[in-house]
A and B are shown apart, each in its own frame.
Chain A
Amino acid sequence: GESVGLHLPTLSVQEGDNSIINCAYSNSASDYFIWYKQESGKGPQFIIDIRSNMDKRQGQRVTVLLNKTVKHLSLQIAATQPGDSAVYFCAVKGYSGGGADGLTFGKGTHLIIQP
C-alpha cells in the first residue's frame, strides 16, 4: 500500500518570508500528487497538483517540487501572508484501501505566520 509521511507537524514563519512544507511517500509507482489547504472549521481546498512526468509546477505564489528519486514532495509558498495560516496536506494517488484511484493523505503541517 501507499503511505505518506510528515516531516514537521508545525512550521512557524515570519510574514513575508518563503515557506517550505515537505512530504514523503512510499510507492515509487505513484503518478499523481496534490496539495490541500485546510483552514480552521473548513474542508480541505485544492492548492496545486503535479503528475509524475513533471519535476516542478508553479501556481500563484505556490510551487510544488517532486523528487521521484527520493520520493519527496514539497510545497513552497512565496512571500507568506497571514491568510496562508492553515494546515497543509499532501496527498498521493495510490492504494490506500480506496482502490487504485484513492488518495492517501499525510497528517498535515500547521503553518503559523508570525507578524
Chain B
Amino acid sequence: NAGVTQTPKFQVLKTGQSMTLQCAQDMNHEYMSWYRQDPGMGLRLIHYSVGAGITDQGEVPNGYNVSRSTTEDFPLRLLSAAPSQTSVYFCASGTAGYEQYFGPGTRLTVT
C-alpha cells in the first residue's frame, strides 16, 4: 500500500494564481481531511469529507475549495493564491474520529 500520497511536493505561485493540490489514498478510508501547518501554529483543519460526495468546512476554510468524487481522491483547490496561504499542506485519511494517516505534505510558497 502506498498509503496517502500528495502531489506536488513543492510549489511556488504568484499572487492571484490558482492551483490544485492532489491527494490520494489506497486504504479505502471514508474520512479524509486537509490541514495546513504554519510555524508555531500546529495543524489547522481546512476542509474534511466523510465520504464521496460529502464535504464540509473546517477551522480555516476561506480561500480553499474541495470536492470528493471518489473514495480515493480529495483534491484541494486554491482559488486565488495569497501570500497568507504560504504554508505546508497535509492531507490525511482514516476512520472518522480516530487515527488519521498523513501524507508527506506539499510545501507552498505564494509570492
Chain A residues with a Cβ under 8 A of chain B: 4, 9, 32, 34, 36, 41-46, 49, 89, 93, 96-103, 105-108
Chain B residues with a Cβ under 8 A of chain A: 4, 31, 33, 35, 40-45, 48, 50, 56-60, 90, 96-105
Chain B interface, DSSP helix/strand/loop, else mixed: strand
Most buried by B among A36, A46, A103, A106: A103
- For A107, list chain B residues within 8 Å (CB): 40-42
- For B4, list chain A residues within 8 Å (CB): 43
A46 CA to B101 CA, complexed, in Å = 7
Report yes or no: B97 in contact with A43, Cβ–Cβ below 8 A: no
Report yes or no: A108 in contact with B42, Cβ–Cβ below 8 A: yes
* Chain A residue with Cβ nearest B99: A46
Report yes or no: A99 in contact with B105, Cβ–Cβ below 8 A: no
* Chain A residue with Cβ nearest B33: A98
Distance from B105 Cβ to chain A, minimum over Cβ atoms (Å) = 5
Residue in B33, B97, B104 whose CB lies within 8 Å of A100? B97
- For A9, list chain B residues within 8 Å (CB): 40
Report yes or no: B59 in contact with A43, Cβ–Cβ below 8 A: no
A46 CA to B105 CA, complexed, in Å = 15
* Chain B residue with Cβ nearest A36: B102
A46 CA to B33 CA, complexed, in Å = 16
Residue in B45, B50, B100 whose CB lies within 8 Å of A96? B45
26 contacts between A and B (CB under 8 A): A32-B97, A42-B104, A43-B90, A44-B43, A44-B90, A45-B102, A46-B99, A46-B101, A89-B43, A93-B98, A96-B45, A96-B59, A97-B45, A97-B57, A97-B59, A98-B48, A98-B58, A98-B59, A99-B48, A101-B31, A101-B96, A101-B97, A102-B58, A103-B45, A107-B41, A108-B42
